[in-house]
Amino acid sequence: MRKTTHWVSFLITFSLLIGTNLTMVTAAEKPIVEIFSASKTEVDLNDTNVKIDFEAVFSHPDGIESLSTKLLLTNSKNNSISSNLTRVDSPVNYSSTKVTFRGSVILPRDFTPDVYTYSLDGVYHNLKNGIRISSDIVSGPKLRNVKGAESGIIVRSNGYLDLNYSTINGPAYGYQSGVYFENPSKYLSQPTPIWKVGEVVLLEKYFELTIPDTELQVSSKSPLVCESVGKTLKLISAGDCNYEVSLPRTKNYLAKRINQTVQITSARSSQKLFVGTVPNQLASKLPITIKLDSVYSSGLSVAELVFPSSITPEICDVAGYTLKLFGGGTCLLTYKSEGNSSYLPSDVYTQTILIERQNQTITYLLPQTVDITVKTFALTATASGGGPITYSTTPNEYCSISGSTLNLLKPGNCSVTATQSGTSILAPISAAATIMIVGSVAPVTKSIICVKGKSTKKIKGVSPKCPKGYKIKK
């Protein structure tokens, strides 16, 4: 019993292997096409020459038996024209492993302009072991990036193809049964237009153009209700708005028009927000958390809350109606309702919360006068809050600042301002004092070398100059 099982198993395995090998051999024995080309891929029925030559090259290791093969040109409406391609070797050499077939099609003048795909019936190889196998049907290759005419022969009339292709798809609003989009994720995600008086609708957001280098054209058929301006509709009064979007006729495509009628209703109502006040806070109590009152609009349900945003994040932050204060100064919150199909967006409302910082003082003493020969003077202002002091001077021609050192430049009145910039708790403070710089600065002499030919002179002075005819030596 066990031996019989093994024998049956071997027979099944052997049969499967034979079947697999036969399939592989059969597939490998088909003639293959190496070339399938047309002399023209675009013709115009108004031209003098509407003849198209075709060539196909087939190969098989056992040679080709077929003497001809049928060529078929077919458009999308199944209109067609056919011809034969015949082998060109004369006399016929059946043992040739590569055979060329040629033939022509002459288009009649009343031929329908369109895109015609072209294909060939198969050819047979020579009989071998009682088997003769045909090649597959051969189709023409992709030739161009023209939507609806990527492959095949383009047949025009007076330069026009008049391809009936969906160059406009839409609109992407309302009941859209049967409306197709090449990029549905973009167009079907658009918010529905607000068809109310006073609104402007940008129509190119709702209509997809499928061919490049084209612009949507918009025209209103009811300008007293809706006015077309460029690619937009301005909604003027209540009533039926009849409009058309279109693309003009191009070299490749028919003109495309889509007519729509929408009802325009009365304008959206305005709305007002009710924003409460928050009392001033003391910086000394920072950080502070405050629960704000809810804000709602006069145009929306009380349940549709309007939440604040902070525009002073260095002072305060807000999450929902929970306000956190962490710095002194003025916290500014803004509220705005975006509105809906019945109500306009609100104005921006600002809520102001003052966080009062503690005042501080500066102790700052300067002598009334200082002699310029001192050259520098140490500044020693102090703030009651203990923070660092910065200094500035005016006018800069008399004095300048280097850190906390006053530089004396020339006699005159020098104003020195000491500033403490404050903290989250302490308010900033500044104090100014004037010091008179007196005395005189000894003139500074310098020397220059003057040359004239081979002669040189050394000149000294506050502002030395070379004698006439001499130049300063460089």
Residue 101 has pLDDT above 90, yes or no: yes
Tokens of 413: 């009145």
For residue 424, pLDDT over 80 is answered with: yes
Residue percentage of the chain with pLDDT more than 90: 73
Fold of 31-156: Coagulation Factor XIII; Chain A, domain 1 (2.70.50)
In angstroms, the CA 220 to CA 242 distance is 6
Largest CA distance in the chain: 136
The CATH number corresponding to 168-264 among 3.90.550, 2.60.40, 2.20.25, 3.30.300 equals 2.60.40
Lowest mean pLDDT among 284-288, 298-302, 425-429: 298-302
CATH of 281-356, one of 2.60.40, 3.40.190, 1.10.10, 2.60.120: 2.60.40
In CATH, the architecture of 362-438 is: Sandwich (2.60)
pLDDT of 8 reads 32
Strands 281-282 and 349-356: parallel
List the structure tokens of 331: 């916290």
Q: What is the pTM of this model?
A: 0.63
Residue 175 has pLDDT above 70, yes or no: no
Residue 381's pLDDT is: 94
- pLDDT interval class at 176 (50, 70, 90): low
Instruction: Select the more confidently predicted residue: 57 or 27.
Output: 57
Mean pLDDT along residues 311-320: 96
What is the model's pLDDT at position 301? 67
Q: What is the mean pLDDT of the chain?
A: 89
**Neighbour-count burial of 215, counting CB atoms closer than 10 A to its CB (0-12 exposed, 13-18 middle, 19+ buried):** exposed
Cβ contact 407:400 at 8 Å: yes
| pLDDT at position 474 | 80
Does position 369 have pLDDT exceeding 70, yes or no?
Answer: yes
Across 341-346, average pLDDT: 90
pLDDT at residue 265 above 60? yes
pLDDT reading at 302 higher than 80: no
Pairing of strands 429-438, 369-371: parallel
